[in-house]
Amino acid sequence: SVSGADKMNGRLGGLVNPWNGRMYSQRYMDILEKRKTLPVWQQKYEFLQVLKNNQTLILVGETGSGKTTQIPQFVVEAVELENHPGKSRKNKMMVACTQPRRVAAMSVSRRVAEEMDVTIGEEVGYSIRFEDCTSAKTVLKYLTDGMLLREAMTDPLLENYKVIILDEAHERTLETDVLFGLLKQVLKNRPDLKLVVMSATLEAEKFQAYFSGAPLIKVPGRLHPVEIFYTKDPERDYLEAAIRTVVQIHECEGPGDILVFLTGEEEIEDACRKITREIGNLQGEQVGPVKVVPLYSTLPPVMQQKIFDAAPPPLTEGGPPGRKIVVSSNIAETSLTIDGIVYVIDPGFAKQKVYNPRERVESLLVSPISRASALQRSGRAGRTQPGKCFRLYTEGSFNNDLQPQTYPEILRSNLANTVLTLKKLGINDLVHFDVMDPPAPETLMRALEELNYLGALDDEGNLTKLGEIMAEFPLDPQMSKMLVVSPSFNCSNEILSIAAMLSAPNCFVRPREAQKDADEAKARFSHIDGDHLTLLNVYHAYKQNNEDPSWCSDNFLNARALKSADNVRKQLMRIMTRFNLKLCSTKFNSRDYYINIRKAMLSGYFMQVAHLERTGHYLTVKDNQEVHLHPSNCLDYKPEWVFYNEYMLTSSNFIRTVTDVREWLVDIAPHYYDLENFPECEAKRVLERLYRAREG
Ligand code: ADP
Ligand code: MG
């Protein structure tokens, strides 16, 4: 027990870990020494004092100052002092620390478990969508902001927690912004609850104003100077320019690791291959060895850990030094701090969410970053010594083209899911819900309208029975709807598999050197009616082959993605069972087997339909946006109507993951395909004929 361990500490000179009564490892001691040098340790006492005397406080500190890893441990210590040893675990309350990114929640909690010398999942745990790594012992929980929001649905006053830390507040994700508003209310009803808001940049005044003058603690930065270089002319191909810059640095600059910011998984993996190849080609010349490591959100945890490995040693004693080259998405901007970076390459782009309520399109778009982001990125070069940042754009562009701050996500998102969550939380008056930056009224209207079409809200905007259940699924409303209605189409088993496959990372592998083989392998799974049923085929084959990883690689399938899909499926199934939603299938040899599945899917996705025009291209229904089938689709013809899972805003607009649907539209969603509020277009005339044919 804690008191027993304390006694032993007295005897053995503080070598026993009070959390588990075990002797502290040497590694613990080593890390502790390093931890104590982090800037936040200078203000540990001040922080605990301010926390004691206030319900809410704001802490601002440079990335890498120890906010995420150290502050929650300080808080846990303080909370444990108050928790009387006699009190049972059950009544003890936890400390929560939110992270906008799954990777950060996982990686940081592992690190903190190591720092506390406990096993991950026991005293320190994490919770992210579809993965709960906590236990009854957990006192410190890292979780995504989205997960905390979901917890509020069943625990409206967040009574499992004594202190909530909202980390990375400067990121202003949709979920964090909603949590701000929610916590403001909860704090009024829970005088014993405390809130710590942590941020990397100085938007602190805004947070202070919002939390009515909460005290602010500033942790002074300890950055070394970073020299900034711009390109003389704009770069045509930033990827190619980034790779070229890496090679140049490696050949010409002094020791130190390199961090390259790119936008997404594919691009990052591609860049890693090219960098390895090009530096390999330099052999014979006087260059050191390199270790190239990718970092992005869907990377498996073992691989994530590699960013913290040391650079390789020189090949020969006294030879040119080895270098670690991290190629990362935005995660490395503020969420994860990598020590030893001396060179940063910033092409100036990131994948960002955009939403246009008029066209109802939400999409991830590679777009220019803000000046604030650019400053954060360059800061990563000066953690341990003076560094250099290479911006692959012109100085004029930095000053004139980049906007000063990134817009909060709440202003560029489809809010249907958020509105459903808020309704479920009992917040009905959305207009007066106190958010830091209120979304456009049009965006709110769109969200209410979509939820009404889906049947989640009635005409007065109240949550329906269907909406209540839909809100329980950690999915988009469309997908939740298709799951909830699937038993009535006698295909909930299959819809579960499809929903799981759509929620997991892409399962198809397409290596550049074996594209043809990969496409042939994919074609063997393909279903004539479209991509969703192809995914179902893959899932079935995966199960039939006993989830065998070597079968997966033989078939150009990503075993990890499929395993994750299988896990997601189990969790979704649990929610289905909890709400007595029947698990059933149509007989496989029935003519209706696939038709039922397609109809169930359409019940969720009837607002994401496109019609093939006589001119040969598709127009989205009602909004009449010209779109193209994404080249990855498995159809060998162009169906008249398709529904799609994803709208990709690029130079030409693609719809991705599509399935052929028929005139079922008018049966399944007559309220949406009601011709009275339908714009004049070819689709309308086709529907008119359909309706007439049915009457006659
Ligand atoms: P902040 O939240 O203020 O940006 P962090 O608490 O994330 O700072 O980081 C503090 C220090 O901990 C940094 O030096 C970082 O490199 C180190 N660190 C974090 N995670 C790991 C890890 N998994 N392995 C090694 N060092 C880590
Ligand atoms: Mg942090």
- Amino acid letter for position 440: A
Task: For residue 71, report the distance from its CA to the centre of ligand 1, in Å.
Answer: 12
Please say whether the beta carbons of 661 and 602 come within 8 A.
Answer: yes
350-399: pLDDT as tens digits: 999 999 888 788 888 999 999 999 999 999 999 889 999 999 999 999 99
Phi and psi for 487 in degrees, rounded to 5?
-60, -30
Please say whether the beta carbons of 239 and 339 come within 8 A.
Answer: no
572-599: pLDDT as tens digits: 999 999 999 999 999 999 999 999 999 9
pTM: predicted TM-score of the whole model, two decimal places = 0.92
Task: For residue 680, report the distance from its CA to the centre of ligand 2, in Å.
Answer: 52
CB-based contacts of 269: which residues, under 8 Å, 6+ apart? 294
Could you list the beta-strand ranges (E) of 464-603.
none
Instruction: Please work out whether the CB of residue 65 comes within 6 Å of at least one atom of ligand 1.
Output: yes
Instruction: Please work out whether the CB of residue 339 comes within 6 Å of at least one atom of ligand 1.
Output: yes
Task: For residue 41, report the distance from its CA to the centre of ligand 1, in Å.
Answer: 13
Instruction: Please work out whether the CB of residue 66 comes within 6 Å of at least one atom of ligand 1.
Output: yes
Please say whether the beta carbons of 85 and 3 come within 8 A.
Answer: yes
Instruction: Please work out whether the CB of residue 304 comes within 6 Å of at least one atom of ligand 1.
Output: no
488-529: pLDDT as tens digits: 999 999 999 999 999 999 999 988 889 999 999 999 999 999
Once rounded to an integer, what is the mean pLDDT over residues 606-632?
Answer: 93
The pair of structure tokens assigned to 360 is 């109802």
Of 305-314, 354-363, 640-649, 659-668, the range with the lowest mean pLDDT is 354-363
Return the pLDDT at 9.
47
Ligand 1: atom nearest CA of 71 is 6
Task: For residue 112, report the distance from its CA to the centre of ligand 1, in Å.
Answer: 9
Q: Which of 63, 111, 112, 199 to mutate to test the pocket of ligand 1 (most atoms within 8 A of CB)?
A: 111
Q: Which ligand is nearest to the CA of 69?
A: 1
Instruction: Please work out whether the CB of residue 63 comes within 6 Å of at least one atom of ligand 1.
Output: yes
Share of the chain above pLDDT 70, in %: 96
- Amino acid letter for position 643: F
Closest Cα to atom 17 of ligand 1: 337
Closest Cα to atom 27 of ligand 1: 111
In this structure, how many other beta carbons lie within 10 angstroms of the beta carbon of residue 579? 11
Q: Tell me the three state secondary structure of residue 353.
A: strand
Q: What does the mean pLDDT of the chain come to?
A: 92
Instruction: Please work out whether the CB of residue 199 comes within 6 Å of at least one atom of ligand 1.
Output: no
Strand order in the sheet with 131-133: 131-133, 124-128, 140-144, 94-99, 161-166, 194-199, 56-61, 216-219
Q: Quick check: ipTM above 0.90? A: yes
pLDDT at 299 over 90: no
- Amino acid letter for position 252: C
